[in-house]
Structure 1
Amino acid sequence: MKKSKEIVGLPIISISDGIEVGKVKTVIINAEKGAIDYVVVDSGIQILSAKVIPTEYVLGIGEYALTIENEDAINDISKIPAAIDLLQKNIQVKGTKVLTKKGRLIGEIGDIYINEEDNCSIVGLEYIADITQKSIRIIPRDSIITFGKNLVVVKEDVESRLLDRAADLALDEDVDSEKKNFETSAVADIDGSVPAEDDIQPDAVADMMETKHREYLNGKVATKTIFDNDGNTLIEENTVIDDVIFEIAKSNGKVIELVMNNR
């Protein structure tokens, strides 16, 4: 388990050559997966001309170094459209506001916790209720609905799910794993077959997120005019949000902006 601040700045070591090939400049987050997809290599040039390492090629992230097999793991970001797309979305998570499903702003995110042994998935978020808070608490992954550019959307009962120690995240993962095994077994008992993980997870998560957003926004009123990426008006201020408006926001990637600007 690592915080992102423990990764940034680490030397990158090619174990085949036994040499340092760079340092970690930053990480690129895939919000849909809830994971770090790329590590940016610090080479002293602008980030859009930088080199990156897909996390699938990372052998390990230790206290003193991040290791890769050899320099073939390092690629020009310009040759990886997916990395450029994620970079342009600029999902930082750190420092973003925390919004509950029903629209309460309850604090902000301090840092992210990453399971480096599970494809650098995000397993929890440091939660800061206010500047007077003396102890950092942690939002577990199963309480997070959306990783957005300007905010993180969480379940309404998130306060009752907060953890006090990073070690508790590992326990939480163990419980989730047992639950998943149980649910998969239950499906197998019904029809005699076990669905592949890829068949049951991504679509289900995406559908859940969409349903929660739709339920939260339905009947509310937009408090600002929302524009598409070309500057055209999509949703005018004071528009009542219904299924038609939601679909307009969804098709233009503006659902989170609606979540942030309604009453």
Structure 2
Amino acid sequence: MKKTQEVIGLPVISICDGSEVGKVKELVVNAEKGAVDFVIVDNGTQILGASVIPTEKVLGIGGYALTIENSSDMEEISKMPAAVDLLQKDVKVKNTRILTKKGRLIGETGDIFIDEDNRCSIAGLEFISNAAEEQIKIIPRESVITFGKNLIVVAENVEETLLNDAEQLMSEKAAADAEKKNLEFSDEAVITGVSPEMPGAPENTSELLSVNNNSNSPEAYQDNAAGLFKEKQIQYLKGRKATKTITDSLGNIIVSEGMDITEEIISKATQEGKLIDLAMNNKA
């Protein structure tokens, strides 16, 4: 879960060659979907000459960088009519007045929260009340009826659904995902390769449900997302050679220049927060 202010300005890194291809300039919202569809990359040109990345091409959004597979995932915005159309509609969502279904004007939005693990959908909105409350609360996505250019329309009982912080928003998301996953546990069993015929598989449905329920915590979802991203990094980096000696915060060597990059080195670099350094300093 990220606020847009945490994403804008991030370096955009191509993991295939470990190069920085620009910085995040703007996020383009699709109001009908309630999601961010495109990332505009700052390359020093005017907006219609800039490059754009469809969010489906984004591998991950971390504290240090937004990552893509390679620079070919970017395209000139003038060649992407869908992005141009959304820019012309100019639905910002941020700093927009909030109207309830029955016509009460109750405040405006601050920043927005996007779920980078779910196609960059909008998960919630900061709510700045007309009553000038000291604490900014959060409107969950489920309470939003319409994302408009000049107004955001929300459920009449929106005050009853307000959350106090992003942690609650994460918990709401985890609970919703857990409910969906439990309804589809049979499909989940197939996807994860668990079946009653497999050696070591749960012997009954109750045990299977217990296994699935144990993986529904927010930490488990974060671990799954991190695991997928790490696997992509391993596939690319494993067997390449480091072009720079990389050390941890205490000066201990993680990898020396010229060494073959192994899965163990990648794991250690990840633990020490040096994965981006490793991705930017290697060769075939």
Same fold (TM over 0.5): yes
Once superposed, which parts of structure 1, at least 4 consecutive aligned residues long, lie more than 4 Å away?
178-185
Q: Deviations over 1:37-82 (max 9, x none)?
A: 0000111211122110000111110001101111011101111111
Superposed, which structure 2 residues align to 1:125-164 within 5 Å? 125-130=125-130, 132-164=132-164
Superposed, which structure 2 residues align to 1:63-82 within 5 Å? 63-82=63-82
State the alpha-carbon separation in 2 of the partners of residues 174 and 69 from structure 1.
28
The alignment partner of 2:106 has SS state of strand
- Aligned pair count reads 185
Partner AA of 1:21 in structure 2? V
State the alpha-carbon separation in 2 of the partners of residues 42 and 80 from structure 1.
16
State the alpha-carbon separation in 2 of the partners of residues 54 and 140 from structure 1.
24
**Residue 212 of structure 2 aligns with which residue?**
none
Deviation at 1:179, TM superposition (A): 4.8
Q: Deviations over 1:191-244 (max 9, x none)?
A: xxxxxxxxxxxxxxxxxxxxxxxxxxxxxxxxxxxxxxxxxxxxxxxxxxxxxx
The alignment partner of 1:177 has SS state of helix
Superposed, which structure 2 residues align to 1:58-137 within 5 Å? 58-130=58-130, 132-137=132-137
Q: Does 1:47 align with 2:47?
A: yes
Partner AA of 1:34 in structure 2? G
Partner AA of 1:47 in structure 2? I
State the alpha-carbon separation in 1 of the partners of residues 38 and 161 from structure 2.
29
Please, what TM-score do these two structures have when normalized by structure 1? 0.67
Superposed, which structure 2 residues align to 1:234-253 within 5 Å? none
**Residue 32 of structure 2 aligns with which residue?**
32
State the alpha-carbon separation in 1 of the partners of residues 111 and 33 from structure 2.
17
The alignment partner of 1:48 has SS state of helix
The alignment partner of 1:152 has SS state of strand
Deviation at 1:133, TM superposition (A): 2.6
**Residue 176 of structure 2 aligns with which residue?**
176
Q: CA RMSD in A?
A: 1.6
State the alpha-carbon separation in 1 of the partners of residues 183 and 107 from structure 2.
33
The alignment partner of 1:126 has SS state of strand
Partner AA of 1:163 in structure 2? L
State the alpha-carbon separation in 2 of the partners of residues 180 and 67 from structure 1.
29
Larger Rg: 2
State the alpha-carbon separation in 1 of the partners of residues 140 and 56 from structure 2.
23
State the alpha-carbon separation in 2 of the partners of residues 43 and 33 from structure 1.
28
Identity of aligned pairs, percent? 59
The alignment partner of 2:174 has SS state of helix
Please, what TM-score do these two structures have when normalized by structure 2? 0.62
Q: Does 1:12 align with 2:12?
A: yes
Q: Which runs of 5+ in 1 are unaligned?
A: 186-263
Distance 1:71 1:58, change over 3 A: same
